[in-house]
């Protein structure tokens, strides 16, 4: 048994800060709900008023919790110790790259670029490409390009490829298989996704932290999204670069040593992983039983249960991944995450887990359950409106919060105020913080970054009803017993035509049309309050198609558009240099 008591005492979990932040989020939810209840009580209280107040309380707490994290990331000083230097001898380290039916040219071009960056950083790291591809044609292509990789890098003896015919456990099982067979040769493992890239100097810093802190079981970086070309992709890329570091910094302060693992762009201690992270099959059939899909959160919880620290460190640059290029690709990926996060509800009461790990499981499930709750809130608000006769006079505003007395739905105006306060203010504060620290130069300066923030807010507001619809559909499918499985990654998806977008989102468009038609039938005034949700739903095919189109890099400018990382530039150069068979298309 490891003696880490002295380290644990030095790094005590921030319990009081967690209680304060959760209390503040609950207070915001309570005040907003009181305001809604006072509005509803003007014409008497029905069971539907009580239902929507309960829903509004939960969903507003959720919005407030995100705002609290952002503001926490903006406040206070960073009292963490400086990043340590690597001491010799370097711990034996392997880079693991699980793949399954990916484009092997892109995969191995990334490996070639990272291998050169690793050697430039003075590191000795083996690279293992772990394939779960199941067709012989895919395996043959992977072996052929792997041969080119070995010839180009002189990588024999340090770059390895293996394919397993039995892909039980998916990605987690793939890594477990490597640890069982070869893990004894290494102390540390860096794990990436097929679309990940990482600089050698970043790996050097991560290894140094693991070397200096023997109780650190896993260290997660904050990867930057790169390579986005579409309007949708570039908006996500900008948000991840501009806003995400502050939300992550707030999350770090709350998590302490019971942090989050996102399954890639991280480093872990093999001995800790082998001892703690063997994943069972959940009892019962999918979607809530069977293979654990969102394995990363579970592995982080198991490491913490075993006495190891799990941390995120956003200070490491040089960690990259790609993002979806259109809303349909995002929704497909989100469907698997939805099923995986809802599976976590079965693990909340698992024995021995830290309290924060249980909270993270609940929080992950709420990420998706909040969408159908918002949809239900809107539905109940409409029901209240059409079943409650409106007074023929306008009373004076009463109660704790003054409101517009002619608001026909009560809840919708409270919803609008809540979104403005809890979503917009943190982003405005982050923009001010970026300007104050001088980081605004990485986003084209104060003027261009301001336009980018405004455009991102407008675009995310337009797409929010669509995301609500897709996530509500995903939750419904899981709860009805439909298994979404683990679809193979589809990298480099490009623009969508209007016909394809219509086929994929016509249900959303018809739902929006029915919503507005019902509002117009029962109360023309109601339609005004439904427009911010109804119009994007009606226009869903157009929004999906338009946002998938490529745009200039001047739109949502980020630092990687100004100056690309060496490992990213090397990857693109390698990809272009290799002679590609006709069936391979650049990604």
Residue by residue, what is the 3-state secondary structure of 379-445? HHHHHHHHHCCCCCCCCCCCCCCCCCCCCCCCHHHHHHHHHHHHHHHHHHHHHHHHHHHCHHHHHCH
Q: What pLDDT, on the 0 to 100 scale, is given for residue 403? A: 41
Q: What pLDDT, on the 0 to 100 scale, is given for residue 488? A: 56
Q: Considering only CA atoms, which of 37, 35, 32 is closest in space to residue 60?
A: 32
Q: What pLDDT, on the 0 to 100 scale, is given for residue 412? A: 55
Residue 301 parent element (H or E): helix 295-305
Beta strands in 105-258 (DSSP E): 125-131, 159-163, 188-191, 197-198, 216-221, 224-225
Q: What is the C-alpha to C-alpha distance for residues 197 and 220, in angstroms, rounded to an integer?
A: 14
Give per-residue pLDDT as tens, 28-46. 999 888 888 877 777 677 8
Question: pLDDT tens string for the chain (587 positions)?
Answer: 344 433 433 445 588 999 999 999 999 999 888 888 877 777 677 888 899 899 999 999 999 999 999 999 998 777 888 999 999 999 999 999 999 999 999 999 999 999 999 999 999 999 999 999 999 999 999 999 999 999 999 999 999 999 998 888 999 999 999 999 999 999 999 999 999 999 999 999 999 999 999 999 999 999 999 999 999 999 999 999 999 999 999 999 999 999 999 999 999 999 999 999 999 899 999 999 999 999 999 999 999 999 999 999 999 999 999 999 999 999 999 999 999 999 999 999 999 999 999 999 999 999 999 999 999 998 888 887 777 654 433 344 444 444 444 444 444 555 566 667 778 889 999 999 999 888 999 999 999 999 999 999 999 999 999 999 999 999 999 999 998 766 655 555 679 999 999 999 999 999 999 999 988 887 777 788 789 899 999 999 999 999 999 999 999 999 999 999 999 999 999 999 885 544 444 44
Map tokens 């001047």 to a residue.
Answer: 554
Q: What pLDDT, on the 0 to 100 scale, is given for residue 400? A: 43
Q: Considering only CA atoms, which of 221, 234, 355, 347 is closest in space to residue 292?
A: 347
Going from the N-terminus, what domains does the chain have, and what CATH number goes with each? 93-286+298-324 (3.90.550.10)
Give per-residue pLDDT as tens, 485-498. 666 555 556 799 99
Which string of DSSP letters, residue by residue, matches 23-48?
Answer: HHHHHHHHHHHHHHHHHHGGG---HH
Q: What pLDDT, on the 0 to 100 scale, is given for residue 201? A: 98
Q: What pLDDT, on the 0 to 100 scale, is given for residue 521? A: 82
Question: Which residues make Cβ contacts (< 8 Å) with residue 478, sequence separation at least 6?
Answer: 287, 288, 338, 339, 342, 484
Q: What pLDDT, on the 0 to 100 scale, is given for residue 1? A: 35
Phi, psi of 54 (to 5 degrees): -65, -45
Q: What pLDDT, on the 0 to 100 scale, is given for residue 486? A: 64
**What does DSSP assign to residue 124?**
-
Instruction: Tell the burial category of 164 from Cβ atoms under 10 Å away from its Cβ (0-12, 13-18, 19+).
Output: middle
């Amino acid at each position: 048994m490891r003696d880490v008591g002295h380290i644990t005492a030095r790094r005590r979990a921030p319990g009081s800060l967690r209680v304060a932040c959760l209390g503040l989020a609950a207070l915001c939810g309570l005040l907003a709900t009181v305001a809604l209840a006072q509005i509803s009580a003007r014409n008497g209280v029905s069971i539907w008023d009580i239902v929507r107040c309960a829903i509004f309380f939960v969903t507003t707490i959720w919005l407030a919790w995100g705002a609290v994290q952002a503001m926490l990331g903006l406040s206070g000083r960073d009292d963490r110790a400086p990043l340590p230097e690597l001491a010799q001898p370097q711990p034996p380290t392997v880079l693991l790259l699980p793949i399954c039916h990916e484009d092997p040219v892109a995969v191995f071009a990334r490996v070639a670029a990272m291998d050169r960056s690793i050697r430039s950083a003075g590191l000795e790291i083996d690279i293992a490409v772990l394939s779960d591809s199941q067709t012989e044609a895919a395996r043959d292509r992977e072996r052929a390009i792997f041969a080119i990789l070995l010839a180009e890098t002189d990588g024999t003896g340090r770059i390895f490829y293996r394919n397993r015919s039995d892909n039980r456990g998916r990605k987690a099982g793939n890594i477990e298989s490597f640890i069982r067979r070869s893990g004894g040769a290494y102390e540390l493992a860096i794990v990436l996704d097929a679309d990940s890239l990482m600089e050698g100097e970043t790996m050097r810093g991560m290894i140094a932290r693991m070397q200096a802190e023997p109780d650190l079981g896993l260290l997660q970086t904050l990867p930057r999204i790169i390579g986005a070309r579409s309007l949708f992709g570039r908006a996500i890329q900008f948000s991840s670069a501009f806003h995400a570091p502050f939300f992550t910094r707030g999350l770090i302060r709350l998590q302490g040593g019971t942090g989050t693992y996102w399954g890639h762009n991280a480093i872990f201690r093999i001995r800790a992983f082998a001892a703690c992270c063997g994943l069972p099959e959940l009892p019962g059939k999918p979607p809530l039983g069977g293979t654990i899909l969102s394995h990363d959160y579970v592995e982080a919880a198991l490491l913490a249960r075993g006495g190891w620290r799990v941390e995120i460190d956003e200070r490491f640059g040089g960690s990259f991944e790609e993002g979806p290029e259109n809303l349909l690709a995002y929704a497909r990926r989100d469907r698997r995450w939805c099923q995986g996060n809802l599976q976590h509800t079965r693990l909340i009461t698992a024995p021995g887990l830290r309290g924060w790990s249980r909270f993270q499981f609940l929080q992950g499930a709420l990420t998706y359950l909040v969408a159908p709750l918002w949809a239900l809130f809107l539905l109940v608000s409409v029901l209240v409106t059409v079943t409650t006769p409106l007074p023929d006079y306008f009373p004076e505003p009463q109660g704790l919060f003054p409101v517009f007395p002619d608001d026909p739905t009560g809840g919708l105006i409270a919803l609008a105020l809540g979104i403005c306060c809890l979503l917009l203010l943190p982003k405005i504060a982050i923009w001010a913080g970026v300007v104050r620290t001088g980081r605004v130069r990485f986003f084209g300066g104060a003027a261009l970054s301001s336009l980018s923030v405004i455009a991102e807010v407008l675009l995310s507001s337009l797409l929010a009803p669509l995301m609500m619809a897709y996530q509500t559909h995903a939750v419904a499918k899981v709860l009805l017993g439909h298994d979404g499985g683990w679809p193979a990654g589809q990298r480099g998806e490009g623009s969508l035509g209007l016909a394809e977008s219509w086929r994929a989102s016509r249900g959303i468009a018809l739902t929006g049309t029915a919503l507005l038609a019902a509002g117009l039938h029962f109360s023309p005034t109601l339609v005004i309050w439904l427009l911010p949700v109804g119009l994007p739903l009606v226009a869903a095919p157009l929004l999906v198609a338009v946002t998938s189109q490529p745009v200039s890099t001047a739109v949502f400018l980020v630092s990687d558009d100004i100056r690309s990382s060496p490992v990213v530039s090397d990857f693109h150069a390698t990809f272009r240099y290799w002679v590609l068979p006709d069936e391979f298309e650049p990604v």
